Amino acid sequence: MTKARVWVGLLLLWMVPTSEAATERSSVVILGKVAGHQQVESLPDGRIKVHFEYNDRGRGPSLDTVYQVGANGTVTSAESQGVDYLKAAVQERYTAQGTSHAWKNSAEDEQREVPGPVFYLGLHAPPEETVLLVRAALRAPGQRLALLPSGEVQVSAVATQTLKGKSSSRKVRLYALSGVDLEPSYVWLDEDQRFFASGSSWSMTLREGFENTQELLLQHQEAEQGRLAQARAKQLTTKLDRPLAITHARVFDPGTLEVAEDQTVLVAQGRITAVGLSAKLPVPPGARTLDAQGRFLMPGLWDMHAHISRGPDGVIAIAAGVTTVRDLANDEKALTGLITDIEAGRDIGPRVIKAGFMDGRSPYSGPTKVFVDDEAEARTAIDHYAAHGFEQIKVYSSIKPELVPVIASLAHAKGLRVSGHVPAFMTARQFVEAGADEIQHINFLALNFLFDKVQDTRTPARFIAVGENAATLELGSPAVRDFIALLRDRKVVVDPTVSIFDDMFHNQPGHWHEGVSALLNRVPPTWQRWMRSGSGGLPDVPKRPELYRDSFLRLVEFVGLLHRSGVRIVAGTDNVSGLVLPRELELYVAAGIPPKEVLRIATLGNAEVMKRDKEFGRVLPGYTADLILIEGDPTLLMSDVRKVRHVIRGDRLYESAAVFRSVGIVP
């Protein structure tokens, strides 16, 4: 018998269910803070009862799920009830009888005949479901298993580790699941094939009593992710170790808003060295040539509101032509490691500008390890951020209003900008008057005029109040005009992230906003299903869809009014940059901003805010060669910004289609 067969045999013995009831509890840890739990009870009759909940700033699911598992490890019935992340009701049921499979949830009501083993993925499911999936897949031929509603998963063991918790030790094994997400996802099981841990540096669910092992678990996960990332980067990155000539391009310069025909752009050592008519500018001997064939060449895009993590985020950004992101909240250690790997060529990703995140202590604190409740804590945090390469401070909703001017003064003394959510019990006007340089999210501007309705904005009230009231906000009123004048006169920047309200104010079970249509057929089946489900909408959208739609349109109008009034807008997504930034830019056009000006906002304008406009954001000699080649003309049709064909990020060249395909996305 081969070693492989012995190993599979041992796994099968490992997976035999016990006749005794067993209960495990796991903690949900968000950036070092326990925010919830999962409790799993395995009953003698084969049923598995799961309760899963966590609190993330007043958001977070609360689910009760009961599974019945068949002899082959697949689920024969599952029933869930509770609420999802945004507190919308969840009621889901799945049953299997022979080859017949039926399921019903808020967005789906289907029945299907499937002859062989298959595993149903819940639309809303606790982490425990991944354990059941791994067990079932390990029993299947080749450790591959078909999925319902669609797709296939393959499971493989990656690493083994013995961990010491507070009162005991456990031997655990890391499994990689391929086919469920854009790249392999990971779960840790103990020696009894029960759930031990899953997640990332941002949020992790792990066995109660072993919370102290998170860093070690992440080291193993990130080592595996790093191995895959390095192989991908080596395969897909063309290092420009000799000059590059991009010939016969239509070149858009955001500095002049002009498009020059039939241009050649020369690049050497990561910088643009010359730009001129192709007929007159010779290609240097030995240079690599990229014939643009009349395609549209422009500077790389910037996403000014990102939370980039290890995995597909940076890959998707580069594939879509996003060459710079500003990260507005992250785990410092994880972000630093990711930036180091990207810059060393061990991973694919954009340039990253770091903003230091802080919040006050409260039941609704944001996901951070940096809490500031007095001047001494503020000074310590700001000194640290200034000394470690951060360029601005982002405050969050639980910061005490009286601390904002202190934070602003301390940050400005260190040369750092100050931005953020408008803290609870404070208006946007007061935030600006206290010294803020920038406001994140357009809803906080609307809330400036809804202070009589909501003051505590630490919870989803900051979304719901806007959805219910923004439709009647008079943008031409003296109060709005006076507030806009204050923003303009103080040179306050607005980061609208209006596309996130596209989801919140439109999506409902089985219905999704039109911006999703551009992505549906490009992403893997599991992502398509999630998008088609209409997830991400606020709970009351189905009751009053017209009101929420009108409120969304008023927010879009507000963005256009800000721009026309001389208030600087920066383009950010608070989402997956490479997938959502085009929609953000389309919404700016819908707000009445001319396409050329929108492209300027997303390139040179963003660079100006971060004081990098002498190096980035133009197609001129001496500028960094962050360039994208596009099929079409986004100065005429903004949706063409999705048709990126090549990306130059300094001294690295990428073919967009190949990079997208590496994470399972159709170009």
Task: Identify whether the C-beta of residue 434 lies closer than 8 Å to the C-beta of residue 404.
Answer: yes
Beta bridge partners of 176: 156, 186
C-alpha–C-alpha distance, residues 483 and 146, integer Å:
56
Distances (CA, A) of 5 to 8, 74, 228, 405: 5, 22, 26, 67
Residue 338 has pLDDT above 90, yes or no: yes
Encoded tokens for 190: 């103990």
pLDDT, averaged across the chain: 94
pLDDT band of residue 22 (cuts 50, 70, 90) is confident
534 or 615: which leads in pLDDT = 615
Least Cα distance to 667 among 521, 568, 494 occurs for 521
Nearest to 603 by CA among 619, 621, 580, 622: 619
Q: pLDDT (tens digit, 9 = 90+) per residue, 128-165?
A: 999 999 999 999 999 999 999 999 999 999 999 999 99
Stretch 58-75: mean pLDDT: 93
What's the chain's length in residues? Answer: 667
Whole-prediction pTM: 0.92
Per-residue confidence (pLDDT) for residue 126, from 0 to 100: 96
Please report the pLDDT score of residue 525 as a whole number: 87
DSSP string, 206-275: EETT-GGGHHHHHHHHHHHHHHHHHHHHHHH-EE--S-EEEEEEEEEETTTTEEEEEEEEEEETTEEEEE
The DSSP secondary structure of 278-344, one letter per residue, reads: TTTSPPPTT-EEEE-TT-EEEEPEEEEEE---TTHHHHHHHHTTEEEEEE-S--HHHHHHHHHHHHT
| Structure-block tokens of residue 131 | 């354990």
Confidence of residue 17 (pLDDT cuts 50, 70, 90): very low
